[in-house]
Structure 1
């Protein structure tokens, strides 16, 4: 629920709005890199910007993507993705 209501940029609320604003596509079609960048802007998207890409977001997004890879084979995660 948090990703559906949190501010992801000035006046941009929720993952769907952020996906359209930053990447011109629906959230369900985001790449892992796109999703990681949106997640990395939290908790302060006015300082940790996606466009232009702030150093914090770039570094944090890489870490988030690594964690996605670590969780990829987790059985509980796989159940959620089905």
Structure 2
């Protein structure tokens, strides 16, 4: 996953997708939050971060918690375990 694009696939809800305001992630080991800005949300059922995630950002093992915020919707939480 390091250096590669991050993609989230989902059953599409065009309203939710168009109202996304931010995507961020934290790691259970260091608890630093990083916000992603360059998000492509133009494809039905797909969110894509347009730049690769660097080793410094996503290189630690542990539990990563992704938070997707959209105006008018509850936060979407995605948990990823990296070993």
- TM-score (norm. length: structure 2): 0.24
Higher helix share: 1
Greater relative contact order (Cα < 8 A, sep 6+): 2
**Which has more strand, going by share of residues?**
2
